Amino acid sequence: MKAQNVFPAVIVFCSMFTCVGAAEAFSTSNDGAKAAKKAHALEDFPVACERVVALEGREASLLPSGRKFKLVWNDEFDGDKLDETKWGYRTNFWGRSAHWFATPEDNAVEVKDGLLRMKLVKRADGQFVSPQLQTGEIVWDIPHTDTGKGFWPLAKRARPKFMHRYGYYECRCRLQQKAGWWSAFWMQAPMQGCSLDARRAGIEHDIMESFDPGLIIPHCFHYNGYGAEHGCFRIPRVRRNADAMLALDKTQYHVFGLLWEPDGYTVYIDGRRHGPKVGRGKGEAVSETEEFILLTTEAKWYRNNRMTGKGVPELESALGDEFIVDYVRVYDIVE
């Protein structure tokens, strides 16, 4: 979207140029309301970014202060359709087709006026679906096939569209407005969990997850797969998601950024550092492998009970709601 003189009210620009996933999140609007009452405010965290115009005529990035960066990949969502050289649809979930993930035929993705609109829609058979977009794929999502030839269980894999290691990963977006589904900006490695060396296998980076409108859960870093050896640490360093929820104005655009360095991770929201740098503490690690980017939405809670869960009642009233993305940008650290 073209640059506008509109920014979240909480931003003050610098003068210089465990862990579990969805199961622990709040699954009903009542739980979300309870969480909102004790959520933290963004103003409680220090301003730590500079407003930098990376692209002429575009919304400025909010980059960590005192560092220099080089833009290496971005999508400003120009044109009138999704750029399929940059994004693909995630339609499988842990080796099986996910009936609640939208396909291109569902028309749940719209690119218009410099914005990506990801929508909650309802199919003719009553199934609610919403899109998951990614620049690569995790190997565990690929359905197993039995061709009767050889022993290899995986179908042909798609080449990743974009993978990167280290740097700054930024997304400007407006959260979903209604309960019943959630949105996220995150990263995975293709072979995440294939070994117990999280540095080499990769770590899931949950830069932004909003399970209820206007509420952001702590930023989770998952490693060693999602089974018996699963590990996780958070920003801020808390034991439960409920201990550090963040309340944002859901009607405004917000900027989420992850600074991924060899010695740790730092997360920023609207130019403010949200919690400490992590990755070197007890039970923590830093990925040393290239990872891909995901922009996802998901209807609650079809994934439950090994993908046999039912949709929540709020989905009906949320029909047509949108998670809107202005841009996604990736920067290398120059110095």
Structural domain contains residue 54: yes
Please state the rounded mean pLDDT for residues 67-93. Answer: 97
Contact 19, 243 (CB under 8 A): no
Residue 148 has what pLDDT? 74
Whole-angstrom Cα distance, residue 3 to residue 26?
35
In a domain, 301, yes or no: yes
139 lies in some domain: yes
Mean pLDDT score across all residues of the chain: 90
CATH number at residue 95: 2.60.120.200
In this predicted model, what pLDDT tens digit does every residue of 227-284 receive, in sequence order?
A: 999 999 999 999 899 899 999 999 999 999 999 999 999 999 999 999 999 999 999 9
| pLDDT, greater one: 240 or 154 | 240
Number of domains in the chain: 1
Cα distance between residue 184 and residue 131, in whole Å = 11
Q: Is there a domain that residue 151 lies in?
A: no
264 with 286: CB under 8 angstroms?
yes
Percent of the chain topping pLDDT 70: 89
Q: Which residues of 259-295 are buried (b: 16+ CB within 10 A; e: fewer)?
A: bbeeebbbbbbbbbbbbeebbeeeebbbbbbbbbbbb
Distance CA 335, CA 333 (A): 6
Is 96 domain-assigned?
A: yes
Rounded CA separation 137/44 (Å): 36
Q: What per-residue confidence (pLDDT) applies to 36?
A: 66
Residue 135 has pLDDT above 50, yes or no: yes
d(CA 198, CA 179): 34
Mean pLDDT over residues 157-177, rounded? Answer: 96
The pLDDT tens digits for 119-131 are 999 999 999 999 9
Has residue 143 got a pLDDT over 90? no
At 21 the pLDDT is: 43
Asked if the model's pLDDT at residue 29 lies above 80, the reply is no
Residue type, 230: H
Burial 300-319 (b: 16+ CB within 10 A, else e): bbbbeeeeeeebbebbeebe
Is residue 298 in some structural domain?
yes
Quickly state the pLDDT bin for 325 (edges 50, 70, 90): very high
278-315: per-residue pLDDT in tens? 999 999 999 999 999 999 999 999 999 989 999 999 99
Full domain range(s) for residue 75: 22-146+162-333
Residue 15 within a domain: no
Flag whether 223 is in a domain.
Answer: yes
